[in-house]
Copies of this chain bind each other. A is one copy, B any other.
């Protein structure tokens, strides 16, 4: 009657899911629309930076050789023969004891090899000519930004799969990317199951709770870089659920269901996977919360059966769905960023399975501290709002002490990790 399930190690479960990862196709968007997306192609420098020798300051372009004898009690005078605004180029070639007024960012005139900052000069007029004087010598190359010194032409500046930040946008603009090739967002279908679920706008009645999981997952999907599609909330009815899931599968890249994966009498997902002919990768994971997390695959398309419990659902998404989204987006760091931290408080509960404890990380005096938030009961929804990390407590212990070194997964981070686990992570 009661199905006996063998729990799979978290590491093994993630590995099995990752075998079905696929990479998405690119699409062109405008530079402005590319913020927060993921590069589908390497960002290449179409020109050297700076594109020409230029002045990083307002001042005068000079020949350094003319300044050798300048001293504070022996100023040297230069005739100012031209001035170059940013974006302009001088037609003059600088001769002996000549200077050209140059603005920040302007191209160095022919013959010049150094720039004197405006503040270090004294200007004066004589015989209807302009002059300036300086009181110290300059070396060849002083205050010159050389062509290509930042970036040689053709270099790969940012790798495909990178999350597009404002800094990346600046680079894309600099290198002429009016349109940017980003990876098309994977379409994730979301179906909430459970007869106990009310719509958010409905008043509470005995025995029922409001559907929060599908909204939460939608936001998690957005954060991960995917395009969520909410496909409805279903009561626990085998036929209806089967039809909804079968038709949903045709419309999306991945499908998430919440609820219905336990061993209870109303948990229809196992039966539905069977009818679909889906290959169930696992239906129990050695972790808390989220032990009933189930992942199946049908013709290479992944079906994530997440727990109906909000915390378990949340963890299930971040551990199993997020890396699949990130691989789709071409990232080579698909998993949540893993860092090591010092545990900020005792965690005295025995730990038969690896536990993902909601926590907050803080950085003080060069130390990373990870502190659990609230109780860690599976049904505590409030702590999800505060948490910015999961503290990973490997199973097989009687608990952990403040001061222990622990692995921590960062939830609100876009950097990611190549691997989801440390050695200790079973």
Contacts and interface: CB of A to CB of B under 8 A. Distances in A.
A193 to B, nearest CB: 10
A50 to B, nearest CB: 7
Given A170-B314, A173-B212, A366 B363 contact: no
Contact of A366 (B150, B173, B203, B341): B341
Given A177-B200, A206-B107, A365-B340, A381 B49 contact: yes
Interface stretch (A64-72, A214-222, A295-303): A214-222
Contacts of A364: 339-340
Contact of A1 (B58, B123, B212, B413): B123
Main secondary structure of the interface of A (DSSP, over half): loop
B263 A223 contact: no
Counted per complex, copies of this chain come to 2
A230 B309 CA distance: 44
Nearest to A87: B196
A337 to B, nearest CB: 9
Interface in A239-286: 262-266
A396 interface: no
Contact of A266 (B103, B158, B195, B366): B103
Nearest to A223: B166
A349 to B, nearest CB: 15
Interface stretch (A134-142, A324-332, A382-390): A382-390
B219 A86 contact: no
Contacts of A2: 118-119
Given A207-B87, A339-B364, A173 B216 contact: yes
Contact of A86 (B164, B178, B195, B414): B195
Given A314-B166, A314-B167, A365-B340, A209 B381 contact: no
A92 B381 CA distance: 30
Contacts of A166: 216-217, 219-220, 223, 314, 384
A88 B341 CA distance: 44
Nearest to A86: B196
Nearest to A259: B86
Report which residue of A51, A104, A151, A378 has the largest number of chain B beta carbons within 10 angstroms of its beta carbon.
A104
Report which residue of A85, A167, A265, A314 has the largest number of chain B beta carbons within 10 angstroms of its beta carbon.
A167
A56 interface: yes
Nearest to A405: B366
A242 B345 CA distance: 58
A385 B157 contact: yes
A176 interface: yes
Contacts of A32: 215, 218, 230
Interface residues of A, number: 115
B209 A51 contact: yes
Nearest to A403: B366
Interface in A134-161: 145, 150-151, 157-158
A96 interface: no
Contact of A219 (B169, B174, B177, B206): B169
A16 interface: no
Contact of A194 (B87, B175, B341): B87
Contacts of A375: 150
A424 interface: no
Contacts of A236: 85-86
A385 to B, nearest CB: 4
13 contacts: A58-B264, A84-B207, A85-B195, A86-B207, A88-B195, A104-B264, A106-B207, A165-B223, A169-B212, A173-B216, A178-B201, A363-B363, A367-B367
In the A-B complex, list the 3 residue pairs whose CB atoms are closest, starting with the nearest: A87-B196, A167-B384, A339-B363
Given A85-B265, A157-B382, 8 more contacts: A86-B194, A87-B195, A104-B308, A166-B217, A170-B213, A170-B314, A170-B381, A173-B211
